[in-house]
């Protein structure tokens, strides 16, 4: 039976959005923001929205100048991601963990880092000597930690302060 207000009318207050609905809304806001940006820059690109692992994923593909939006080692991409998160936060009132990918750069980088993490973990396992990788972004460190976690006998942790934070891989105790 529907709830009724004190005056006897049905309560028609909107239900709170589910977590997935909220993430879809974040993706829509981000897509609109990025569409306006591409128009301002006069760049072509197809925007794809998805929800994966509890976060909105926005991808831009198909344009010839998109590599300029990635920048050296993803620096421009990271900045655009932060600006897009701020736009989503301003429009929705919620802090966003949205992930932006441009020209499939993150997927390619994820593959490289998975291979680096796996190879380095195996070297540490064989030599017994810890290995310190170069400073990385939070995205890059997470990919390496995930790769290392799949190798028995080694662990990894991050140390240092941003922007010089780096992954250290070492043999597990025991």
Q: Are 92 and 29 in contact (CB under 8 A)?
A: yes
Give the tens place of pLDDT for each residue, 15-59: 557 988 999 999 999 999 999 999 999 999 999 999 988 899 999
pLDDT digits (tens, 9 = 90+) for 146-167: 999 999 999 999 999 998 999 9
Q: Is 80 exceeded by the pLDDT of residue 174? A: no
Residues 122/79, Cβ–Cβ less than 8 Å: no
Tell me the domains of the chain and their CATH numbers.
19-103 (3.30.300.20), 108-171 (3.30.1370.50)
User: Rounded to whole angstroms, how far apart are CA atoms 102 and 6?
Assistant: 52
Helix (H, G, I), strand (E, B) or coil at 31: helix
Average pLDDT over every residue of 56-70:
92
């Amino acid at each position: 039976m529907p709830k009724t207000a004190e005056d006897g009318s049905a309560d028609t207050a909107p239900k709170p959005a589910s977590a997935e609905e909220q993430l879809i809304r974040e993706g829509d806001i981000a897509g609109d923001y990025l569409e306006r940006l591409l128009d301002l820059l006069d760049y072509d690109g197809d925007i794809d929205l998805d929800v994966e692992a509890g976060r909105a994923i926005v991808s831009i593909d198909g344009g010839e100048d998109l590599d300029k939006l990635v920048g050296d080692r993803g620096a421009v991409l990271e900045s655009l991601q932060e600006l897009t998160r701020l736009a989503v936060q301003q429009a929705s009132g919620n802090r966003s963990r949205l992930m932006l990918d441009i020209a499939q750069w993150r997927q390619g980088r994820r593959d490289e880092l998975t291979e680096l993490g796996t190879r380095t973990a195996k070297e540490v396992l064989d030599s017994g000597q810890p290995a310190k990788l170069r400073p990385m972004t939070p995205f890059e460190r997470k990919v390496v930690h995930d790769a290392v976690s799949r190798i028995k006998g080694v662990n990894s942790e991050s140390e240092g302060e941003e922007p010089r934070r780096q992954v250290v891989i070492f043999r597990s105790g025991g």
